[in-house]
Amino acid sequence: MKGKVAFLFPGQGSQVVGMGKDLYEAFASAREVFSIADEVCGKQISRLCFEGPMEELTITKNLQPAITAVSLACLHVLRESGSSAEICAGHSLGEYAALASAGVLTDEDTLRLVSKRGQLMQREAEANPGGMVAVMGMGIEEVEVIVNEASQEGPLAVANHNTAEQIVITGAKQALAKATKLVKERGKKAIPLKVSGAWHSPLMQGAVEEFRDYMEGIDFLPPSSTVLFNATAREERDPAAIKELMARQLVSPVRWYDIVVSMLEGGFEHFVEVGPKTVLIGLVRKIAPKDKEIHYWPAGDLRGIEAFLNAQ
Number of H helices, E strands in the chain: 14, 9
The rounded distance, in Å, linking the Cα atoms of 82 and 245 is 30
Catalytic residue at 115?
A: no
3-class secondary structure, 236:
coil
First to last CA, the chain: 4
Query: Within 13 A of 118's CA, how many CA atoms are on the CB side?
Result: 25
User: Any bridge partners for residue 57, and if so which?
Assistant: none
Point out the catalytic residue in the list 14, 46, 83, 92. 92
Point out the catalytic residue in the list 76, 91, 161, 200. 200
Strands 156-163 and 87-90: unpaired
290: DSSP letter = T
104: DSSP letter = S
- 158 in Cβ contact with 167 (< 8 Å): yes
Taking 3-state DSSP, the helix, strand and coil percentages for the chain, each rounded to the nearest 5, stand at: 50, 15, 30
Catalytic residue at 200?
A: yes
What lies within 8 Å, CB to CB, of 155 at 6+ separation is 130, 171, 172, 175, 198, 201, 202, 203
What lies within 8 Å, CB to CB, of 177 at 6+ separation is 153
Question: Which residues are catalytic, by number?
Answer: 92, 200
